[in-house]
Every structure is written in C-alpha cells, then in structure tokens.
C-alpha cells in the first residue's frame, strides 16, 4: 500500500562517534530537501524527531520562512512540499501519531550505512510494502547512526545502499532519495 508510507529523520537518540547517545543538530537543507523528496514519492508525512527545544525553534523558523514568509512566495513548490512535514520530540510520539491516523501501529524499518546481518533486501521490502495492508515507517539516522535500542523495536532492518563500497558515507538527503526510489520507484504514479 503505497499511500501509507511515512518517513522519520531521527536526531535523538543518535550515536556519537565514540558510541555514546547524543542529540544531533538540525540542518535547514534536511528539512526542505527531504520534504521535497518525500512529497515527490507521495509519502504521507515526513517527521523530524528532535528532543531539544533550541533545535525545534530552528525548525519553526525554517518552516515560517518557507510556508508564510518570503520563501513561500519565492518558491511555492517548497511550501507545498512542507505540507507533509511534522516535528515530534521522540520516536514514540511519531509512532503514536501514525497509530492515531491509521488506527494501527506501523511496520517500522531501520536503515543504516553500516554492514549488519539479517537485513532485508530492497526488492524484498518493496514487495512487502506493496502487499501489506499496514502502514510503514522508514527511519533514517543522523550523526553516526541510530542506536541498537531503536533497531530492536523495528520490524525490518534494510540493507545498506552501498554495501560493497569502500566509502559508504552518503548524506542523509541522498540516502532518503535513493531508498524511496528503490522501494517505490515509478510505481507511485501507476497505482
């Protein structure tokens, strides 16, 4: 069911290089670029998850500029893309919002650039998304990735995009775009 897919960009909890848990900084580009990608693939909502009030204020200012300020007139497409954007403090809040909307818990998909065992291939997950009646929530991390505690609550662990590359450090914006294209592709326009 391609009309019940959600994406979340996690800024907390996130791994620091040394393995400790931190909150990462929000970037302006992630907000509107990932919103644009999600809108292009008919994602129901793009959530940004940050527990820091100071980071939430930055997001509010970016949204204000692109949805009500000069940016909304200068680039109306960006305003349209941001209609699907939502901000929440914690992943649990995102899951609750989706449960309230869909009346069931979403199937949750973990992503990471790190090699791992027991991952699902893109083609397999694409088939499951098309065949399953449940909503799907695809999680993307920032910093050095999402911690194990998040992976443990997910239903699927998606293979890395460049599993055999000697350099696997795509921007999260690129990773979201590639992932959605591999999972949805042109099918979004034919169903």
Q: Please give the chain's pLDDT, 191 residues, in tens.
A: 688 999 999 999 999 999 999 999 999 999 999 999 999 999 999 999 999 999 999 999 999 999 998 988 888 888 899 999 999 999 999 999 999 999 999 999 999 999 889 999 999 999 999 999 999 999 999 999 999 999 999 999 999 998 677 777 889 999 999 999 999 987 654 44
- Per this entry, what is the length of the chain? 191
Between the alpha carbon of residue 24 and those of residues 14, 90, 154, the distances in Å are: 7, 13, 21
Contacts of 69 (CB under 8 A, 6+ apart): none
Kind and range of the H or E element at 10? Answer: strand 5-10
d(CA 18, CA 2): 38
Q: Which residues pair with 5 in a beta bridge?
A: 136
**71, 31 Cβ separation under 8 angstroms:** no
Angle, CA 189 vertex, CA 181 and CA 103 arms, to 5°: 80
**191, 48 Cβ separation under 8 angstroms:** no
Residue ranges of the alpha helices (H) in the chain? Answer: 28-40, 53-67, 70-74, 76-81, 91-102, 122-131, 148-151, 172-183
């Amino acid at each position: 069911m391609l009309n019940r897919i959600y994406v979340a960009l996690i800024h907390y909890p996130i791994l620091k290089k040394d393995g400790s848990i931190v909150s990462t900084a929000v970037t302006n580009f992630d907000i509107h670029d990932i919103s644009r990608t999600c809108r292009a693939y008919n994602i129901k909502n793009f959530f940004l998850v940050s527990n820091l009030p100071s980071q939430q204020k930055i997001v509010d200012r970016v949204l204000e500029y692109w949805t009500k300020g000069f940016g909304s007139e200068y680039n109306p497409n960006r305003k349209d893309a941001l209609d699907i954007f939502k901000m929440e403090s914690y992943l649990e809040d995102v899951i609750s919002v989706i449960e309230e909307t869909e009346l069931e818990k979403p199937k949750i998909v973990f992503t990471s650039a790190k090699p791992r065992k027991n991952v699902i291939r893109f083609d397999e997950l694409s088939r499951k998304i098309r065949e399953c009646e449940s909503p799907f929530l695809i999680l993307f991390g920032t910093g050095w990735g999402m911690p194990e505690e998040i992976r443990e609550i997910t239903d699927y662990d998606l293979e890395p995009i460049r599993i055999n590359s000697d350099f696997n450090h795509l921007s999260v914006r690129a990773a979201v775009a590639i992932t959605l294209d591999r999972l949805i592709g042109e099918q979004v326009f034919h169903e």
